[in-house]
Amino acid sequence: MRILLLVFSFLLALVGLPHGTAHAAPRAGAIDIMSFPDKTVRTGRMADEITLTEWLLGLPHGIANAAPRAGQARDWTTNVVFTPEGRVQVGNPAAKVTLTEWLSYTCSHCADFAAESKVELHALIRSGRVRVDYRTMPRDALDLAAGLLVRCAGPAKFLRLHDAVFAGQKAMLDRAQAFAATPPAQQPTATIGARLIQLADATPLRAIGRAAGVTDAAYTACLNDDAAQKRVIAVAEAAQTANIASTPSFEVNGRRVEAHGWAALKPQLVATR
C-alpha cells in the first residue's frame, strides 16, 4: 500500500497556491516532476437521458442499452459510463454488488491488484453480478497523463487501456525516472497539457494508446483537454474529503473494506448478497 505523499501539493498547485507551499518530500526513488501552472478546479454536471424502454419497463438507466440477441447472455464489461464527475463505471447498473476502487496508475500495488484480479473480476462484471466504480487518484504528472489516456478512446476502450497501462507500468516508471534525471525534464512548460505530453512521450504511453487505436492527434488533444484534467483531479479531491489516504482502497456497496489485494477482497465480493 503506497501512501499518497504528493497529492496535497498536486492539488494545491492546481488551485492556485504557490508552488511548494505544501510540498512533501518524496520517498527515495519516487517521481517528483510536478511543476504545473496554477489552475482552478471546477466540475460540471449534465442530465442523463433515459431510454423509452427503460421508462416503460421501469428499468435502471443503462440496463436496456445494447440488448443481446435472443439466447445470448449480455457481456456487462461492455457497459462503460464516464460520469460528469470524472469516475468510470463498468458493469450492470442493477448489479447486486458495487465495488468502488480508488487507484493510481503509478502505484505498484494497484498494478498487482489489476493483474491478480483481472480474470475473476472481469468474469464477475461480465455476468452482471458486480459493477466497478473506478476512481483515479493521480499522485504525480505521469499518473495524471495515464488517467487521461485511459479515457482517450471513449468508454468502449477504457478497460483495454486500463489493463494495458498497468501491464506496462514498470517500463513506464523506469523511463519516467530516467527522463526526470535529464535537463529537458527541468524545462518549464506553458500549460499542464504540454507538461503531460513532454513527460508521457518519454514513456510508452503513446505506444499503449496507439495499440488501442488512439491516434496521435487524439492523444495530443486528450492530454491537452483542460476539462478532462479538472474532472480527474476532482475525483482526487473528493477522495481526500472522504479520507481515502492510500491506493488501492475499496468500498463494497458503500462500505469501506480493509482489503488491499484480490485475495482479501474476493471473498467479500462473493459473500455480499
User: 71 or 110: which carries more pLDDT confidence?
Assistant: 110
d(C-alpha 79, C-alpha 131), whole Å: 10
- The residue among 212, 144, 137 whose CA lies nearest residue 176 is 144
Q: In terms of C-beta distances under 8 Å and separation of at least 24 residues, what long-range contacts does 252-259 make, across chains too?
A: 252/97, 252/98, 252/99, 252/100, 253/97, 253/98, 254/98, 254/100
Order of strands across the sheet that contains 130-136? 80-82, 88-90, 130-136, 97-103, 249-252, 255-257
Encoded amino acid at 22, one letter: A
Local structure of residue 273 (DSSP, 8 states): -
d(C-alpha 121, C-alpha 103), whole Å: 15
Which residue do the cell numbers 482479501 mark? 264
d(C-alpha 43, C-alpha 85), whole Å: 7
Each residue's pLDDT tens digit, 229-262 = 999 999 999 999 999 999 999 999 999 999 999 9
Local structure of residue 257 (DSSP, 8 states): E
- Kindly tell me the sign of the dihedral angle through the C-alpha atoms of 221, 142, 103, 125: positive
Q: Which of 37-41, 73-77, 208-212 has the lowest mean pLDDT?
A: 37-41
- Ramachandran bin of 137, using left for φ above 0, alpha for ψ from -120 to 50, beta for the remaining angles: beta
Q: What are the extents of the domains in the chain?
A: 79-271
pLDDT at 67: 52
End-to-end CA distance of the chain: 28
Which CATH superfamily groups domain 79-271?
Glutaredoxin (3.40.30.10)
Q: How far is CA 33 from CA 14, 137, 145, 192, 265, in A?
A: 14, 17, 12, 12, 33
Average pLDDT, the chain: 81
- pTM over 0.85? The answer is no
pLDDT at 44: 38
| pLDDT, average across residues 180-205 | 91
Q: Which of 56-65, 165-174, 206-215, 247-256 has the lowest mean pLDDT?
A: 56-65
39 in Cβ contact with 192 (< 8 Å): yes
Each residue's pLDDT tens digit, 123-171 = 999 999 999 999 999 999 999 999 999 999 999 999 999 999 999 999 9
